[in-house]
Every structure is written in structure tokens, then in C-alpha cells.
Amino acid sequence: MSAPKIGVAISARNRNQRTTDTVTAWLKRLPSNAVLVIVDDCSEEPIVKPRDRRVTLIRHDYQRGIAMTKNRSIAALMDAGADHLFLADNDVYPVTDDWWSPYVESTEPHLSYQWPSGYNWRETYRDSDHFAVAFPRGVMLYAERRVIESVGGMDPAYGAHGGEHVEWSTRIHKAGLTRWEYADVAGSDRIWYSHDKETGNRDGSTYSLVRRRLMCDANGRLWDKSRPQFIPYREGEGSQSYDLGPSLGPSYDDCLDHVLSVCTEGTGLEFGVGAGNSLRRICSEMFTYGFDSWDGLPEDWRPGFPKGMFACEPPQLVHTHLVKGLFSDTVPLFELDDLGHITLVHLDADLYSSTKAILDNLDHTKVFTPGTFVVFDEWHGFPGAGPDDHEQRAWREFADRTGLKWSVIGQGPEQWAIRIT
């Protein structure tokens, strides 16, 4: 019987010296038939590939965030034929030679390195082989190949950080594959070194502790999101689900604000600026290009919103470039592909005709790439809203034509947010 093939994938963004030290530690204890993949999520200074034939380096050309980086890791290890997948952060590594054995020999096909501490991470079960905790850490995740084949990867809706591995473990458990949602092998404290454990999780991330807490709090709203059992882990795959998803809050601002809280780095586009209320919030997070005629609606919309409504003077904002004119005139002349990665598209054009004019002219651009967030300002929740009119109709036609796939993030009173996969 041949030895099981071990696959290790290390996720990294910045902190390059720590990544180098971690990879070196892994290579000292990597089984002879194992493979090691490094996925660099667009570090400011690209990570350098070690001179070792067992190592593959994958670099994202723009930041995708943790969920999509872990999915890229899963895809690489599955393609390499790994039977047992270990997904690690760039500050955790084994300190014993047989680190893989307790996981491979476990009756549980999915486990993750845990250390009980405090109420949130309290121990809820223990026997001679395993222990379980109330809430998991995500520094090192283990899964057998059959787990990936059954449930797929992590949900890109979680954005830059926060909650993606929690939901993944929960989905694995709900599929009947594990006895506990969040479990580890007994004695794992003698197997791993974790910088998070040593420092109390205070400086072991690209993001500050405050920022991480804000993102996790925001993404907590998604943990009860209705999902299919299988979520594709390869870019370009996904669904065209029109489920509205969970409520992101009762305010008309909550949907956009949620997306802004979990956005990755990049550039924003807003179509339909008006007085600039939403653009002001977007450009506080990223440089944004705002498109509008400032002549108001070009035709009657729904009752109470006649032609010319919303006419105003262009707002005065920083970190913004305003483009004045009808969408049909300005969008085709603007060099959108020269703007780098578009992390957010905010569609606030209201009318079917206006939204169609935007999307028709984005058809052959690189605006909608894997990881792009799209927020619609008037998708549902008002008289006449539906698949046959307004923003919904324009997007459905565009999606049918282009074949774009996405993950649903959630909804506001009239808003809807998705992320391109």
C-alpha cells in the first residue's frame, strides 16, 4: 500500500520574512512524497520561491482575501493529487517529524489546530484521541480529499477576512462528515508552533486586531446564510443565484457599508452619484470613479420619481474622479482596464435603460473579475421591482450573456450585494 500523499498550502500576504522562516521550517519536516504550495495574495513585495522542487509558488495579481486564497490553495493541492490537505497560515509550522500522522490516522476527515483558552474557545469534549472546542481558530486546517469532493471550498462572500473557515467547518459537519464542528487531535500542542498562540493573536495578521474584529463582526451576519452543500473552490466557477441572502441591516446604507467593511484593496466605480452620499462613504475606503450626468433621471422611473429627479450639482469629494455625462456617452470612452483591479462596483442607476447602458459597455472590460464586489442600490423591495424591470432585468440579461458567476453576500431594504467568483 502506497504512503498517503500529503499536500501543504501556505497562505501569505506581506510579512515576507515570516513567510520565508515558516516555509523553511515546513521543508525540514515535509514527508518525501509531499508537495508544498505557497499562495501569495498580492504581497506588496512579491514572495520569492524557495529553490526546492517540492514547492510551487502561486501569486495573485490583485488581493482576493482569505476565502479565495484558501480556495486557490485547495485547487492547487487537489490538482497535485494530494490525499490529505493541510491549509496553513504563514506563521504556523510543525515542530515534530511525524506531525501529519495523527491527522491522517484520525477517524475524523476534517480537523483544525486548536488551543482552548477563555470562554469562546473553551473545550466542549475530550477523549484520548480528540478534543472539541466551542469556536474554532483557523491557523491550520486539515481535510481529507473526500471532504473537498463533498463540500468544496470556502465562501468568497466573506471578503478580505473573517468567518470563512468557521462556516466551512460547520458546512462539513452539517454534511455528516464529522462528529464535532470544531475539533483537533489530542496532543496537538506538541505538534505545532503558532505565532498567534505565542502572541495572543495580536500581531499575527495583515490586519490590525481592531480591523479584524470589525470584519468578523460584520461577517457574523453571514454565518447563518443559506448555502448549497457544495461551494466551488476554483475561480470562474460558482452560481447565478438570485437568492437575496441574509439581511445586512435595516438601514438603506447597511448593505453597502457591510461590503465596504470586508472589501479587499483596489479601486471603486459608482454609477449614479447624485449628491454623493454613498460615494462619500466609498471613497473613504478606496479611490473611486463616479459617473453621472447630474441632470437627474433621463426618463420617468417608478411612481413618485419623474424624469429630472435627483438633478443637482456634482459633489466636492476627495479620493474621487467624477465623470460627467450620460452613461452611454462616457463609459465607452473611459479606459476602465487601465484602473487596475476594480474591487467594488456600485450600481445606482435606478432605470433599466441606464443600467443596461452601463453593463453593455462593461461587457468587454476587465471590471468584473474574480473577487469584485457588486452592490445594487434598487434591486428589490419597492413596487415594480422584479426580474422583468429596472436593475434586476439589466443584470439578468448581462449575466445570461456573459456567463458570470457569483456568491450572494446579502441584502438591504432595497439593496443586494454579490461577489464575482
Domain boundary among 206, 222, 238: 222
Same domain membership, residue 204 and residue 262: no
What's the distance, CA 216 to chain centroid?
12
Q: How far is CA 358 from CA 121, 341, 352, 353, in A?
A: 48, 18, 10, 9
Same domain membership, residue 23 and residue 68: yes
Same domain membership, residue 212 and residue 80: yes
pLDDT tens for the chain, 421 residues: list them: 467 899 999 999 999 999 999 999 999 999 989 999 999 999 999 999 999 989 999 999 999 999 999 999 999 999 999 999 999 999 999 999 999 999 999 999 999 999 988 778 899 999 999 999 999 999 999 999 999 999 999 999 999 998 999 999 999 999 999 999 999 999 999 999 999 888 866 655 667 777 777 778 878 888 777 788 999 999 999 899 999 999 999 999 999 999 999 999 999 999 999 999 999 999 999 999 999 999 999 999 988 899 988 999 999 999 999 999 999 999 999 999 999 999 999 999 999 999 999 999 998 889 999 999 999 999 999 998 999 999 999 999 999 999 999 999 999 999 999 999 9
Does the global pTM surpass 0.85? yes
pLDDT tens per residue, range 217-257: 878 888 777 788 999 999 999 899 999 999 999 999 999 99
Q: The domain that contains 204 carries what CATH number?
A: 3.90.550.10
Q: The domain that contains 297 carries what CATH number?
A: 3.40.50.150
d(CA 151, CA 169): 10
Q: Is residue 147 part of a domain?
A: yes
- Output the pLDDT for position 363: 87
SS (H, E, C) 290-331: EEECCCCCCCCCCCCCCCCCCCCCCCCCCCEEEEECCHHHHH
Instruction: Report the DSSP beta bridge partners of residue 417.
Output: 375, 410
Same domain membership, residue 287 and residue 202: no
Domain range for 114: 6-222
Q: Is residue 351 part of a domain?
A: yes
Contact indicator for 348, 379 with CB cutoff of 8 Å: no
Same domain membership, residue 292 and residue 152: no
d(CA 240, CA 229): 16
Instruction: Kindly write down the DSSP assignment for every residue of 130-149, as one continuous string.
Output: EEEESS---SEEEEEHHHHH
Same domain membership, residue 213 and residue 86: yes
- Output the pLDDT for position 116: 87
Pairing of strands 267-271, 110-112: unpaired
Q: Is residue 229 part of a domain?
A: no
Q: Is residue 120 part of a domain?
A: yes
Same domain membership, residue 328 and residue 218: no
- Residue 284 cell numbers, joined: 473613504
Same domain membership, residue 36 and residue 119: yes
d(CA 260, CA 61): 21
- Output the pLDDT for position 217: 81
Q: Is residue 249 part of a domain?
A: no
Place of cell 443637482: 312
- Output the pLDDT for position 199: 80
Cβ neighbours of residue 55 under 8 Å, at least 6 residues apart? 23, 27, 36, 37, 38, 49
Domain boundary among 222, 243, 271: 222
* Of 7, 88, 421, 399, residue with least CA distance to 231: 421
* Of 291, 238, 286, 289, residue with least CA distance to 265: 286
* Of 364, 374, 292, residue with least CA distance to 329: 292
Same domain membership, residue 326 and residue 210: no
Q: Total structural domains in the chain?
A: 2
Contact indicator for 170, 223 with CB cutoff of 8 Å: yes
Q: Is residue 243 part of a domain?
A: no
Pairing of strands 192-194, 92-94: antiparallel
Contact indicator for 353, 299 with CB cutoff of 8 Å: yes
- Output the pLDDT for position 204: 54
Contact indicator for 260, 278 with CB cutoff of 8 Å: no
Same domain membership, residue 316 and residue 412: yes
Contact indicator for 421, 406 with CB cutoff of 8 Å: yes
Domain boundary among 169, 202, 222: 222
Same domain membership, residue 201 and residue 113: yes
- Output the pLDDT for position 133: 97
- Output the pLDDT for position 384: 86
Q: Is residue 233 part of a domain?
A: no
Same domain membership, residue 327 and residue 203: no
pLDDT tens per residue, range 332-365: 999 999 999 999 999 999 999 999 999 999 988 8
Q: Is residue 246 part of a domain?
A: no
- Rg of the chain over all Cα atoms, to the nearest angstrom: 23
Query: What b/e string do you get for 115-135 counting C-beta neighbours within 10 Å, with b at 16 or more?
Result: bbeeeebeeeeeeeebbbbee
